Structure 1
């Protein structure tokens, strides 16, 4: 059993902190409109969220009418994590949803990225993908019923287990900006180039 000393401010000593602020800026899905996104931070068992929201949902936004055809959310992200071990580094999972022609709420794309391991500002362009039906019969059935293939829990994307049997196709992209700050990272022999 590992014993942790408490510092004067009530935080456990022997831990490092990773703080991230930023925003889910925009999406590029030229063939779709009126979309919103959900996000979730997923991390390993040695990690704990200290402040901020672990998941959230944005407003619905319309596609711009210019040649760029962007959906702009500028949805804020703000979270701080602590850990004793870099294994299970936090990941950001984004799910984009919109309405189909029948008015059903369907997934337009999933994407995942690790939080940057170097401090400072970074911009990530996350390629999105959607699950595909595995047979023609399932494709027709999903189109008729309005129930497209989707993940029951998008957190599955943060793990490698079972993903090799999932059929997907690329569809759209999401741009995220992140500012990352580290505290006490180097005191425990970890080097991240910052």
Structure 2
């Protein structure tokens, strides 16, 4: 039984930026983000979703789109299961001027305190037949997810045909509180180890 006055929840504070993207052949893009998390997690401050400004490449960075779009959110939870993920969707105009998706991607919020940078491979859904591909191009209605949160979930994704397209770089600054008091050891030595699995990186049970 926990001692009197000991915490029953821990806090995870996440700040940072969706810094930039690389989408060869595309320009004038903007991004949206949202967080996906387990049922034991509750946002207590900040924004769960947002939409950036439109940005373009420049002579200084002809292959990079710079957003520097801030993220800021705090969660509370009782256990690490369902650790939050950020889902990023990038959009821009097609040949006819319609806004179409240029990439989806997701990554877990880093599991250890400190500053981290993650580069997310992005992808787009594809039509399953040449007729559908032509119809999508002609009408300007490209395949896209009704809810981008599906990107962070395993169920149903195996039946979706996708194609890799671009990368997005995000910086995180993670602060945790009371995790050790609840029996979780967040090990700073694991901060830069990319070989750790997405559900176990830097989190150990006593």
Cα distance between partner residues in 2 of 1:57 and 1:67: 22
1:153 aligns with 2:147: yes
In structure 2, the partner of 1:123 is 117
Cα distance between partner residues in 2 of 1:65 and 1:152: 36
1:38 pairs with one of 27, 32, 44: 32
> Cα RMSD (Å) of the superposition?
1.5
Runs (5+) with no aligned partner, structure 1: none
Cα distance between partner residues in 2 of 1:132 and 1:64: 29
1:107 pairs with one of 101, 105, 108: 101
1:91 aligns with 2:85: yes
Runs (5+) with no aligned partner, structure 2: 189-206
In structure 2, the partner of 1:19 is 13
CA positional deviation for 1:68: 4.5
In structure 1, the partner of 2:45 is 51
**4+ residue stretches of structure 1 with deviation over 4 A?**
none
In structure 2, the partner of 1:138 is 132
CA positional deviation for 1:13: 3.9
TM-score normalised by the chain length of structure 1: 0.92
TM-score normalised by the chain length of structure 2: 0.87
Cα distance between partner residues in 1 of 2:12 and 2:18: 19
Cα distance between partner residues in 1 of 2:61 and 2:117: 22
In structure 2, the partner of 1:79 is 73
Cα distance between partner residues in 1 of 2:180 and 2:152: 26
Cα distance between partner residues in 2 of 1:100 and 1:39: 21
Q: How many positions carry a matched residue from both structures?
A: 185
Cα distance between partner residues in 2 of 1:13 and 1:141: 57
In structure 2, the partner of 1:174 is 168
